[in-house]
Structure 1
Amino acid sequence: MATVRRMKLGSQGLEVSAQGLGCMGMSALYGPPKPEPDMIALIRHAINSGITFLDTSDIYGPHTNEILLGKAFKGGFRERAELATKFGIGIVDGKYGYHGDPAYVRAACEASLKRLDVDCIDLYYQHRIDTQTPIEVTVISLSLLPSFVKLKCSILYCGVVALVAKQMLLLFTNIDFFIYQL
């Protein structure tokens, strides 16, 4: 079997498999949810094959995809994987919306940790930008998560996606911010 190359993701030390496994389609979108035992077996096969960078989100399902990964991580598989999950898209009164305020960021992180049944998320990032909350407020909230979430590790790395130039400039001038682009 071929070896899956590993690579640095950004400049802060996180190393991941160069090929990742996006888990969204396992429990949401792209048709009905797939059989859970099959998806757990698929996740474990990926990890055993060297594909150890797994991506999910709290909105997939919603929530069921994180629960699925939590089940797949049992039996020592979590220790062999890099876990990325996202926050920021929520359903309120039956409508999707984007959220990045400090209380939401903290509550979403705590809920993801519980659903995933882990004490550490390797990469935690914002799925979509909340235009009602200044991006720097969201990023500062992310950076403070390890001190607020009372768990062993909580977050190793955090980030945001889908920034426009104005938001990037604001972050560069006000926050110690590192960019990684695939």
Structure 2
Amino acid sequence: ACAVCYRAARLEGLEGKTAKEQYGRYADDRDGGLTTIDDNSVAAFEKWFDLNDSEKWKIQNPSHMWEICQGSSYTRIHLYVNKDDAGYYLGLAGGVHCRTEEIVRMYNALREAGFPVRIFSHQLIAKAIRGMDYVGIVPCTDTPSQYWYGGFPLKEVISFINLTDEDFSEKMIEQITEQAEWLEISTLTLIDG
């Protein structure tokens, strides 16, 4: 499943590598021992999957177990394995603030390959790729990524720009500022006393 994702996302350095080697190249190696089990044994996977976190710690650090593309808090991509009464299914997470195209490509490729998969934050991602989301314009003193962690008044806004950082002409900036819906900026004051 990870190899399907890597190919779909058009990651570099996949040629001639096995699926496990691709995983080793892009995933976080703190996988709780996932890479130590027999690749071709369903029983070995099920035994490992059923271990609790403390048992996985005895094998290897499980703190980033499902991180198939490592990165910062908002650039990493996770492919979780979940189990319910119907069996196993995958959960794909990431791509909300950046790497959105990669997540969509991964999801579509997994579906096409026949994997049962769910995508987290699918409504936000769908709005973003269809151009129906809001874009927050942040002050010139800030970087857009600062707002991924909160601080923007509207929680449904997931994409941010700084007009001075973009490749906009003065005319484009003028058009954007005229058409934007501007929110009130909080005024900070000192307390008397």
User: TM class by shorter-chain length?
Assistant: under 0.3
Q: What TM-score do you get using the length of structure 1 for normalisation?
A: 0.27
The structure with the largest alpha-carbon Rg is 2
Greater strand percent: which structure?
Answer: 1
Q: What TM-score do you get using the length of structure 2 for normalisation?
A: 0.26
